[in-house]
Structure 1
Amino acid sequence: MPLDFEALSSWEFEDIRQTLTEKDTILYALGLGFGEDPTDERELAFVYEDGLKAVPSMAVTLGYPGFWLRNPKTGVNWQKVLHGEQWLDIYKPLPVKGNIIGRTRIDFISDKGEGKGAVIYQSREIIDADSGEKLARVAMSAFCRGDGGFGGENSPGPDPAGLPNRAPDHVCDLETLLRQALIYRLSGDYNPLHADPDVAQSVGFDRPILHGLATYGLAARALLKSLLDYDAARLVGLDVRFSAPVYPGETVRFEIWEEAGEARFRASVPERGVVVLNNGAARFA
């Protein structure tokens, strides 16, 4: 069954209503390794209810519609879907608790051609259900490797952020735990690829990989640590291109370049010599 362009283009998402609790906010931060040093008061603020702050990248988990491309009606070969890019704009600091609405839509679908795959671009508004205020906009691309050539337009996506041709201003190494994916998945992404060794091996990985959005959250942690003195309210935008997976237990190295009111960055795993996040861009208030 080929990708159903008409069905996907007009796919109707129900609003996702979520009750966010302080426990959810703390669990998300723990899934990114915050609190590694429990005596560091700056990181403790993200994992302790007294004066709790939300990690800005938590927006990507709010109002999440689930892995909807696994629905057979899409016609998508879901086993070959990769997370391509992630974009985030934050309009006001995220609450640590409250009632949230996630409103998802398909923006467009690009046909790269037979044997070259297709890219689905989708976005989600994160809304405070009590006030009606928009908190953030989350957008992503899904690269469907097995679904090109359905006769659609080859529409280009947003241009990736360029990286400066000079040495980085900051280098930040963050260690991940062997059980990191098992913690992070409790924030809502239960894809067995990140927990079940048999599933991981069936799609070509030696063992379960870390969620791409967990690596993305590590970028937020690295930026807060390196540039913002953990002032969460200052991080208002975060965009990346995913280029390779991280295995739990690996160290992720962030190279960061300071720009006027923003930063550019990439992330790699030194022991494998592979870039895992590329063309990163962060915007600051």
Structure 2
Amino acid sequence: MPIDAEKALAAEPRSSRIGWDHKDVQLYHLGIGAGSDPDRADPAVDPHELRYTLESRLQVLPSFATVVGAGMGGFGGLAAPGIDIDLAAVLHGGQSVRVHRPIPVRGSAVQTSKIAAVYDKGKAAVLVLRSEAADDEGPLWTNDAQIYVRGEGGFGGERGPSERVAYPETAPDHSVRRPVRPDQALLYRLSGDWNPLHADPEFAARAGFDRPILHGLCTYGITLKAVTDTVLGGDVTRIRSYRTRFAGIVFPGETLSIGMWTAENQVRVEVRAVERDNAMVLGDTFVDHA
């Protein structure tokens, strides 16, 4: 089922109105591990978890933009003209979010989705699905999802970027561990990603896994929260953009090791799964900030 890159890129963007309130924000934050016990007097626990869980103190992590409208803003582009693919061949290769201003706790916006790029990797194609949201005050965020489609390359298109970032040889400036609850995927999927791969053992087995895996975007959110709390003083308004490459999977119940290298206005991040010999989970990951 070939991809017609020219037709896909020329297709009219799709627009829909989306809305959210504090309950959607709180549910998302809980889904990425916030507020497990915000009242514990334990110095190892961030005393400010209520900024993610209590409506009177609430702020919004920019990664929330990946789930607003049930997370279909970008992935709706898979139904664009010129895109006729087997969803079983689709992998989420990378994600970026750029916020134009802080996301309000309650809001309504028009989200527009389109195919922004199509790359020919030979044995596979990479689609860049872009969704942009704006409200009455102007642009809110831009999401880019990089979708890897096995078996759909070889159509003669541009190969596109393929650089890998070399990490510093020095130890991270900060290193934290974040446990993933055994039921984390079941909670996270309530924000709109109902893929049975993350809940149904039989479906996961058909996909080649011995048990359901965690959503990549859940790991993405867990990581941004860790960076925000560790480097940015918990202030989400300092975040400008956040991008990653999904380098591996996470199973619920595992522990994430998150290494951070700080530079002026940027944090470089690497995430590994502790229980599987520190297997790489997120690579080429950057948080740009004020």
> TM-score, length-normalised on structure 2?
0.90
Partner of residue 108, structure 2: 99
CA distance in 1, matches of 2:10, 2:80: 15
1:65 is the counterpart of 2:72 = yes
Partner of residue 261, structure 1: 265
Partner of residue 276, structure 2: 272
Once the two structures are overlaid, the 10-residue window that deviates more, 161-170 or 176-185, is 161-170
Task: Check the 8 A contact 1:235/1:284 in 2, yes or no.
Answer: yes
CA distance in 2, matches of 1:156, 1:46: 38
Task: Check the 8 A contact 1:110/1:152 in 2, yes or no.
Answer: no
Partner of residue 255, structure 2: 251
Q: 1:207 aligns with which of 196, 207, 211?
A: 211
Partner of residue 241, structure 1: 245
Q: Return closer, same or farther for 1:57/1:69 CA change in 2, 3 Å cut-off.
A: closer
CA distance in 1, matches of 2:5, 2:289: 37
CA distance in 1, matches of 2:64, 2:165: 22
Q: Which runs of 4+ in 1 moved over 6 A?
A: none
Deviation digits for residues 139-162 of structure 1, max 9, x if unmatched?
A: 12100012122x231331374544
1:141 is the counterpart of 2:146 = yes
Once the two structures are TM-superposed, the CA of residue 223 in structure 1 deviates from its matched residue by 0.3
1:47 is the counterpart of 2:53 = yes
Q: Return closer, same or farther for 1:58/1:157 CA change in 2, 3 Å cut-off.
A: same
Q: Return closer, same or farther for 1:70/1:57 CA change in 2, 3 Å cut-off.
A: closer
CA distance in 1, matches of 2:285, 2:80: 33
Deviation digits for residues 205-239 of structure 1, max 9, x if unmatched?
A: 11111111111001111101210121111121111
Deviation digits for residues 18-44 of structure 1, max 9, x if unmatched?
A: 120110000000000000232254111
Unaligned runs of 5+ in 1: none
Partner of residue 117, structure 1: 124
Pairing of 1:164-203 with structure 2 (within 5 A): 164-203=168-207
Deviation digits for residues 148-195 of structure 1, max 9, x if unmatched?
A: 22x231331374544222111111100111111111111121111111
Q: Return closer, same or farther for 1:145/1:157 CA change in 2, 3 Å cut-off.
A: same
- In structure 2, what residue type is equivalent to 1:125? E
Q: Return closer, same or farther for 1:104/1:161 CA change in 2, 3 Å cut-off.
A: farther
Partner of residue 28, structure 1: 28
Q: Return closer, same or farther for 1:100/1:43 CA change in 2, 3 Å cut-off.
A: same
- In structure 1, what residue type is equivalent to 2:143? V
Q: Secondary structure at the match of 1:29?
A: helix
- In structure 2, what residue type is equivalent to 1:65? M
- In structure 2, what residue type is equivalent to 1:90? V
CA distance in 1, matches of 2:167, 2:149: 26
Once the two structures are TM-superposed, the CA of residue 2 in structure 1 deviates from its matched residue by 2.9
- In structure 1, what residue type is equivalent to 2:20? L
- In structure 2, what residue type is equivalent to 1:45? R
Q: Secondary structure at the match of 1:38?
A: coil
- In structure 2, what residue type is equivalent to 1:254? I
- In structure 2, what residue type is equivalent to 1:59? A
CA distance in 2, matches of 1:191, 1:12: 27
CA distance in 1, matches of 2:262, 2:100: 22
Deviation digits for residues 22-78 of structure 1, max 9, x if unmatched?
A: 100000000000002322541111111112111121122234336447659732121
Alignment length (residue pairs): 280
Unaligned runs of 5+ in 2: 40-45
CA distance in 2, matches of 1:93, 1:162: 31
- In structure 1, what residue type is equivalent to 2:149? C
